Each structure stands twice: as C-alpha cells, then as structure tokens.
A and B are shown apart, each in its own frame.
Chain A
C-alpha cells in the first residue's frame, strides 16, 4: 500500500504532521493515519487560545470504527482551528495535508520541530508499522 507524504512536513510517532508557515506551525494527521481510520465522520478540535503540551491530546478524529486522539506534536498556543472540518470531515480522507489541517499553533519553541521525524524517516516508520500489522 503506498501512502502520500508531504516532504515539507515533520512527523510524530502518533502520525501527526507539522509544517512551519511564517510565525505559526500548521498541524494535521497523515495520509497513513486517515487510511487506518477509514471514513472520518467527525473532528473535535481545541479552542483558540488553548495551551498545548507536546505529546498530549489536542482533539479527536472519529470514524465509524475508531475515535483516535490527535496529539500535539509541539507545545504552544492554539492560534487558529479549522472550523470548516465540522461540516466537511471527509476532507481528512481526501486531502489530509492540505484542506484538512486541524490547528495552527503559535509554538513555544520552534526547535521542537527538529525533534520530529522528517518525511523519509517517517516513511520508513510507516512501513515498519504496517509490517507489524496495524497501528
């Protein structure tokens, strides 16, 4: 099975991606993650102004068979949330790296991005995960 990877983004082990855009860091879940979930029916997001801590849950992405937490890949403050996902949860399946961004974070420490995997490393990680049989 081949998955899409955004070469600009960095990745966490729980399948979130993070991409610097100006002052902010845009975050979403990867193509592999949406594939595991299958049809997404609902996305729960934090509120603007919420403080996020790297590794802690910032919301959930729900399909018919699973409701997975989305974990903040870096620490910071929520600057924007993608409110359009409320009416269009299927974008997560269709365009996980583009239209279906979840939140934009004002990072506490941009250096944290460096701790995440780059696209090539993440791609290998996904292959290993698949061989183990699932998520």
Chain B
C-alpha cells in the first residue's frame, strides 16, 4: 500500500481553505520584494483529509497495539490530557501577555515545578528545556558554571558509563568537555574498581559524572550511593539522566540518593504523547546549591525577590535566577506538554505514582521471567526494573539476528522492542512493557516471541522475509544514504 505524495495529488486551482476578503485599504508592496512563485500544494479539503487519513493508517501508535520500546516508556497517553491542553485558557495564551492576565498558567507552571521537585527530591526545577537532550545540555552547563565560579576552571572531564545513551557523550562535547568512559561490572553495575582508578587519574580535572539509574540495562545500580559518594569526594557533581524514572516514582528520590541534577523526560514518565518523535519536555531539577544557575525565567511567588506586586494572596512572577546559565529556548518551555504532565500528576497523587512504578517493574519482571530460557538475557539472574535487555541470538538459528525478530513481530501487530541498544550488549533487544499493559497483552506478546523463536529454527525464511503484511517491505537504507532524495521537486 502506498499513498501518493501531497504534491502528486494536487491540481492547479484547488483550495482547502477559505479566508475573508481584505477589509482595509491596500498598500503597495515594496518594490523588488514580491516573490514570483510559491510552490506549495493545491488540494481540495476532501482530498487533503483522505491523504492524511490514509497516511495515518500506515502508522502504528500506542493506541494501535503493544509498543514495548525499551527506554522510551510507551505508556498509554490519557485523553483527558488532550482536553486539558486544548482548553482556551491554556492554548490561546500569548507568552508575552501582561503577567496579571496569565496567573492561572503561571500557577500551573509553579505547581508543576514544585511537584517535580518533591517527587525527585530536588530544591528547584526549571521547565524550560524542550527535550531530554536539551535538559542534559542545561544540566552540564549548570555544572560547568558552578565549578567555574568556584575557581575550578581547569575541570573539563565528564565520566560516562559505557551503557549510556548517545545524548550523554554528545552533550558533553557540546559543552566543550571530554568524555571518559567507565565500564560496567559483570552484574551490570558501574564497575567500582574502574571508577576508583579513573577518579584517581582524572580527579582534579573532573566536572563529574552522568549516570542513568536504573541504567540502560534496566538495572538499579547495587552500589549507587557509593558511586555518588566517590564522585563527590573527587570534587565532581553527579548528573542523573532521568529517562528511566518510570521505575522509581515513589520508590526512591534521586535527590536523596545524592544526585545533584537530574532531567525528567515528561514525554516518557509523565505520559505526554510522543507525536512521531516530539514534542517532549526535559524539565531539570537541581539541589539547593545549584538553584541560582537554572535557565530563566522560572515562576516564583510573592515572597521571593519580586519588586512591584499586587496585593493578592499569591502572586506569580517570572524570575531569572541570579547566576542563570541563560535561557535555553525562547519563552518558558513546552507549556502544552506541561499542562498534560500536570494533569497526569493531579490524577495520580502520591499513591498513584508509586503504583505506576510498582506495576511497571512488576510487568517487566514478569516478561523477563517468561522469556528466560527462550532468549538469552545477560542479566536475567537479577531483578530488573522497568525494562530488561535480551538478545536476538538463538541456538539453532545461526542466520537470525535481532533485526529479523523485530521485523517478524510486526506481522503480529506488535511494535518491536528497541533494537541494538545499549551498545554493550550485542544483538540487543530492550523490552519495556510499562504499567499500562494488561497481563493478557503481555501473555500474547510472550506467545508470539516464543513462536518466533521456534520459527527461527524451523522456518527462518519467515523472519528473514518479514514484515509480510506491512505497507512496505524492508527498505533499502543504503540507497537512502547514498542517493539522497530528501525533498520532492519542484523547487528541490
């Protein structure tokens, strides 16, 4: 099934909108400025709608079926969040309107700042970063400025585990620092001995460490407090990548463990929709000593430094922290996403949040237990957190790789797990069910996975030729990279 491009269905003269006539006198256009051509499509509304509806039918979302994409937390996106975000009181607000006309929105931002700080054990939160990676850059720049203000300008090394998501080292480079990799031990924890060696070697130059806990193997570090203590002892700070926060809501507060900074992925843990790749929101929480460095503005209340305030009980004002690293984006953050996350937290409360993590972890352990024996699971001897990593290498099926298993899953109307990440496990298959899947759905997934393992041995062609029922077969990625076609003519 293929659908023509929008340009291929357009016909000159067709229109899909109606706009009013100009009700004011016209002004002559400045000379030499007018464009002579505008190669945009011309389609009627009915054809436009059919085009996009058909495109959507070639897509798979959480609402379509099971989506165990490890590290992405593909939990169900509550529809009430959508209604909330679309309320005119939020959707139709200009960010630069007089503050007194946006107190409700600012109150929401303030409350969300406070709630996230409470949930993770931090002193202050900014909601400005638009994505996790954006939050990472924010965090690393905060670490940089804090240490430089202390006179430690020679510090330029950040330790990053070998299991880290690629954004961690990429962020480190953007901030002008050097990455030093720390290996994992046999049980999947940060290797303490290697850590001690590296700290001895790089201590005086250390900005700190970026750490994901639970890590990308889905494991809670058995020595987490020791790891943090060692880094602090060497004069460094610890940045927490909160991508896996869905495992520890109400279970432990990273701030209490000793993390100095952490970013949240609101589009993972707090159920905001993934939208085909974004928008997200990478809120950042910090300990008290770093609060002055947050990007601004944040929302502050009456009793904090804010000069001219009306006599009201609460008075929300924009406040730029005293030593702010600077803004990381225009305006205040992805507010529409913040409304959704806020709604989600209000629906759940403390007990509801803890239930999320308990069920997320329970579900992942259930799948791990049921697939053990059928698929290699390098750390299957440990209790996992909200996800676990298996391998797509099967005895008796030498020609089959993780990619083939992934493609065959599509034939059963399930989205494959994350493949080939983390890099430290070969043929990795990272499975994260989340808490919003029922036991029946998970049992059905297990049945399919067991069947695929069997097919791998007895009828590998089924896997190698998969997917069989998708709108397209496997695509030529080499051709896509070599013969670049990134744009449809005309004009490209």
Direct contact of A and B (CB under 8 A): yes
Most chain A CB atoms below 10 A, which of B477, B480, B482: B482
The residue on B at minimum CB distance from A134 is B426
**Is the Cβ of A39 less than 8 Å from the Cβ of B478?**
yes
In the docked arrangement, what's the CA distance between A130 and B482, Å? 28
**Is the Cβ of B477 less than 8 Å from the Cβ of A64?**
yes
**Is the Cβ of A133 less than 8 Å from the Cβ of B426?**
yes
The residue on A at minimum CB distance from B478 is A39
- What's the minimum C-beta distance from B171 to chain A, rounded to whole angstroms? 19
**Is the Cβ of B482 less than 8 Å from the Cβ of A42?**
yes
**Is the Cβ of A89 less than 8 Å from the Cβ of B482?**
yes
Chain B hits for A133, CB < 8 A: 426
**Is the Cβ of B481 less than 8 Å from the Cβ of A64?**
yes
- What's the minimum C-beta distance from B163 to chain A, rounded to whole angstroms? 16
Per-residue interface assignment for chain A, residues 28 to 46, with 1 indicating a CB less than 8 Å from any chain B CB and 0 otherwise? 0000000000010110000
Besides A39-B478, A39-B482, A41-B481, 12 more A-B contacts (Cβ < 8 Å) are A41-B478, A41-B482, A42-B482, A62-B481, A63-B478, A63-B481, A64-B478, A64-B480, A64-B481, A89-B482, A90-B482, A133-B426
Nearest first, the 3 closest Cβ-Cβ pairs linking A and B are A41-B481, A41-B482, A39-B478
Chain A hits for B482, CB < 8 A: 39, 41-42, 89-90
Most chain B CB atoms below 10 A, which of A42, A63, A64, A90: A64
The residue on A at minimum CB distance from B480 is A64
A-B contact pairs, 12 of them (CB 8 A): A39-B478, A41-B481, A42-B482, A62-B481, A63-B478, A63-B481, A64-B477, A64-B478, A64-B480, A64-B481, A89-B482, A90-B482
The size of the chain B interface, using a CB distance under 8 A, is 6
Chain A hits for B480, CB < 8 A: 64
Per-residue interface assignment for chain B, residues 468 to 492, with 1 indicating a CB less than 8 Å from any chain A CB and 0 otherwise? 0000000001101110000000000
Main secondary structure of the interface of B (DSSP, over half): helix
Chain A hits for B478, CB < 8 A: 39, 41, 63-64
Chain B hits for A63, CB < 8 A: 478, 481
- What's the minimum C-beta distance from A76 to chain B, rounded to whole angstroms? 28
Main secondary structure of the interface of A (DSSP, over half): loop
In the docked arrangement, what's the CA distance between A11 and B160, Å? 31
In chain B, positions 288-320 with a C-beta closer than 8 Å to chain A are none
In the docked arrangement, what's the CA distance between A42 and B482, Å? 7
The size of the chain A interface, using a CB distance under 8 A, is 9
In the docked arrangement, what's the CA distance between A103 and B179, Å? 30
In the docked arrangement, what's the CA distance between A62 and B484, Å? 14
In chain A, positions 76-123 with a C-beta closer than 8 Å to chain B are 89-90
- What's the minimum C-beta distance from A70 to chain B, rounded to whole angstroms? 18
In the docked arrangement, what's the CA distance between A89 and B483, Å? 11
Per-residue interface assignment for chain A, residues 52 to 74, with 1 indicating a CB less than 8 Å from any chain B CB and 0 otherwise? 00000000001110000000000
In the docked arrangement, what's the CA distance between A133 and B427, Å? 12
In the docked arrangement, what's the CA distance between A80 and B477, Å? 31
In the docked arrangement, what's the CA distance between A62 and B482, Å? 10
- What's the minimum C-beta distance from A68 to chain B, rounded to whole angstroms? 14
- What's the minimum C-beta distance from B224 to chain A, rounded to whole angstroms? 28
In the docked arrangement, what's the CA distance between A90 and B478, Å? 10
In the docked arrangement, what's the CA distance between A56 and B12, Å? 55
In the docked arrangement, what's the CA distance between A62 and B478, Å? 11
In chain B, positions 438-492 with a C-beta closer than 8 Å to chain A are 477-478, 480-482
Chain B hits for A90, CB < 8 A: 482
Per-residue interface assignment for chain B, residues 410 to 436, with 1 indicating a CB less than 8 Å from any chain A CB and 0 otherwise? 000000000000000010000000000
**Is the Cβ of B426 less than 8 Å from the Cβ of A42?**
no
- What's the minimum C-beta distance from A131 to chain B, rounded to whole angstroms? 14
Chain B hits for A39, CB < 8 A: 478, 482
Chain A hits for B426, CB < 8 A: 133
- What's the minimum C-beta distance from B474 to chain A, rounded to whole angstroms? 13
- What's the minimum C-beta distance from B420 to chain A, rounded to whole angstroms? 9
In the docked arrangement, what's the CA distance between A89 and B482, Å? 8
The residue on B at minimum CB distance from A89 is B482
In the docked arrangement, what's the CA distance between A64 and B481, Å? 7
- What's the minimum C-beta distance from B477 to chain A, rounded to whole angstroms? 5
Chain A hits for B477, CB < 8 A: 64
In the docked arrangement, what's the CA distance between A39 and B483, Å? 13
- What's the minimum C-beta distance from B178 to chain A, rounded to whole angstroms? 16
Most chain B CB atoms below 10 A, which of A41, A42, A90: A41
In the docked arrangement, what's the CA distance between A41 and B480, Å? 9
The residue on B at minimum CB distance from A62 is B481
- What's the minimum C-beta distance from A29 to chain B, rounded to whole angstroms? 18
Chain B hits for A89, CB < 8 A: 482
In the docked arrangement, what's the CA distance between A2 and B434, Å? 44
The residue on A at minimum CB distance from B423 is A134
- What's the minimum C-beta distance from A69 to chain B, rounded to whole angstroms? 14
The residue on B at minimum CB distance from A39 is B478
In the docked arrangement, what's the CA distance between A90 and B481, Å? 12
- What's the minimum C-beta distance from A16 to chain B, rounded to whole angstroms? 23
